[in-house]
Amino acid sequence: MRSFDLTGRRALVTGASRGIGFALAGALGRAGAELIVNARDAAALDEAAPQLRAAGIAVSASAFDVTDPAAVTAAVDAIEADGKAIDILVNNAGIQRRAPLDTFDDADWRSLMATNLDSVYYVGKAVARHMIARGRGKIINIGSVQCELARPGIAPYTASKGAVKNLTKGMCADWARHGLQINAIGPGYFDTPLNKALVEDPAFDAWLRGRTPAGRWGRLEDLHGAIVFLASAASDFVNGQTLYVDGGITSVI
C-alpha cells in the first residue's frame, strides 16, 4: 500500500473552504500530504484550516482569486519561492448558475466560464511550470458527470465541464513527457452546498434516486479513494483520464 502514501508531498487545493474541495483536501491530508488550501475568501479559509489541523493535518492557507491570472502566478510563485514545492494540484474551484439558455445572462456566462474553466488553465499552467522543471507532478481537475451529460437549465455549466475534460487531455498531451500525470474526477450528484436547491427539491430528489443505479446521492467520502489514487504513485501510468464517481449514472440511459 506504500504506493498510495502521500507522506512528504505537498498539495494545493483550490476552492477548498467547503464542500467537495474541503473533503478532497482532508482525504489528501489523511493520506500524509501537507496541504495548502485556497479560496478567494480569507475568512472562509480561517474557518476551514483549523478543522483540518484538528485532524492532525499540516495545513496552510493561500487566499487568491483563481480567475485572475496575475494573482494566480504571483501566489504560486510565492509558495514555491518559500520552499513549498507543489507536488499535487487539485483544480476544484467552481460555481453553478441555472437558467434556460435563451435567457441566460451574459455576465453569468462569463463568470461561470472564468471560475470553472479559465481557472483550471491559469492555475494549472502556473503550477505546471514548476512541476516541469522538477520532472514530476500530479494535477487533478474536478469535472462532473456534466462532462458527458446535459440537463435543462445548466447548458453553460455543461459546456464548462466538457471543456475541463478536454483541457485535461490537452494538458496530458503537452506535459506527460515532462513526468506529469494530469487526470480529472467527474463527481456525480453529491449532497453539497452547490446542490442544495436540488437536494431540497422532492421531485428532483426522486428523479435522481431513480436515475442513478446506486439509488442515492453521492457522499463526500465516496471521493476519498479516487483523489488519493490520482494524487499518488499508484496512478503513475494513468494520464489524461476522467474518473467518474457517480453511482453509475453515466453508464445508463
Separation between Cα atoms, residue 5 and residue 15, nearest integer Å: 24
Give me the sign of the Cα torsion angle 48, 54, 56, 58.
positive
Mean pLDDT value of segment 177-204: 94
Q: Are 159 and 116 in contact (CB under 8 A)?
A: no
CATH of domain 2-248: 3.40.50.720
Q: Are 237 and 40 in contact (CB under 8 A)?
A: no
Say whether pLDDT at 111 is over 80.
yes
- Could you say which DSSP state residue 68 is in? -
Q: Please calculate the CA angle 249-24-85 and round it to the nearest 5 degrees.
A: 135
Q: How confident is the model at residue 193 (pLDDT cuts 50, 70, 90)?
A: confident
Q: In whole angstroms, how far apart are CA 53 and each of 19, 60, 127, 151?
A: 17, 9, 24, 39
Residue 41 is predicted with a pLDDT of 95
Say whether pLDDT at 194 is over 80.
no
Say whether pLDDT at 139 is over 90.
yes
The catalytic residue positions are 157
Say whether pLDDT at 87 is over 90.
yes
Q: Please calculate the CA angle 251-14-18 and round it to the nearest 5 degrees.
A: 80
Residue 47: count other Cβ atoms within 10 Å of its Cβ.
11
Separation between Cα atoms, residue 120 and residue 114, nearest integer Å: 9
Q: Are 61 and 50 in contact (CB under 8 A)?
A: no
How does the average pLDDT of the chain come out, rounded?
97
Say whether pLDDT at 238 is over 80.
yes
Q: Are 230 and 243 in contact (CB under 8 A)?
A: yes
